[in-house]
Amino acid sequence: MLKEIDDLCHDFEVIVVDDGSLDDTFKIAQPLSPTVHLLRNLGIGGAVQTGFKYADRHDFDFCVQIDGDGQHPPGQISKLLAAYGKDPAEIVIGSRFLTNDSFRSTWLRRFGGQIIARTLKILFPNCQISDPTSGMRLMNRRAIQFFARQYPYDFPEPISLAWALRAGMSVRDTPIKMRARQKGQGSIVGIKPLAYILRVLGYILLSRLKRRSLL
């Protein structure tokens, strides 16, 4: 994964957030990339926010977030950059549902994603996102600063979108090709997707009711 990124992104700084893993991620990544190593497991939300804090502290103009399980091919980063260049929204989401040749996971997860997307469109009429659970996304400086200060620890992908939309940020998506998970095991299996959908919808509704952030 890092080799793929290194071959494609010579002009960009690559940050690996190792959230207390036990598989020598830190040792493998350190020679290839600046690495943020968390000794205590903070979960996906805490790990991702650590990356935003690093980007904010180092005055990044924008950053691209990808998962470490291989689902997001580094070669697709250029599509996010191209979309941002054409229409510089504050957040650009890589959508697997805008192309016919991308890996799409199980029908239940796809159904859940559609329900979440429709809920966001109802609550935030300007939102036209097709893949709200996608973890491959580009954020500009304002979004980096926003998420460095507040980021959801639970269900971070869709909830962070709700928070950004509530704060008045522009969000758009662009088609990308995703792969099946290359490493590791997902945490949402069995009947968990149903509980995931209901809890995410509840969090989104609560987010809509909260007062808009000043950032």
The domains of the chain are located at: 61-209
* 134 close to 76: Cβ distance less than 8 angstroms: no
The pLDDT of 123-129, averaged and rounded, is 92
195, burial (CB in 10 Å: exposed 0-12, middle 13-18, buried 19+): exposed
Q: Write out the two tokens for 209.
A: 């009711």
**pTM metric for this prediction:** 0.85
More confident of the two residues 118 and 111: 118
- pLDDT computed for residue 191 by the predictor: 47
Question: What is the distance between the alpha carbons of residues 178 and 134, in angstroms, rounded to a whole number?
Answer: 10
Range 61-209 has CATH code 3.90.550.10: yes
Pairing of strands 16-19, 62-65: unpaired
Question: What is the distance between the alpha carbons of residues 49 and 55, in angstroms, rounded to a whole number?
Answer: 10
Q: pLDDT digits over 174-185, tens only?
A: 999 998 875 655
Q: pLDDT digits over 132-150, tens only?
A: 999 999 999 999 999 999 9
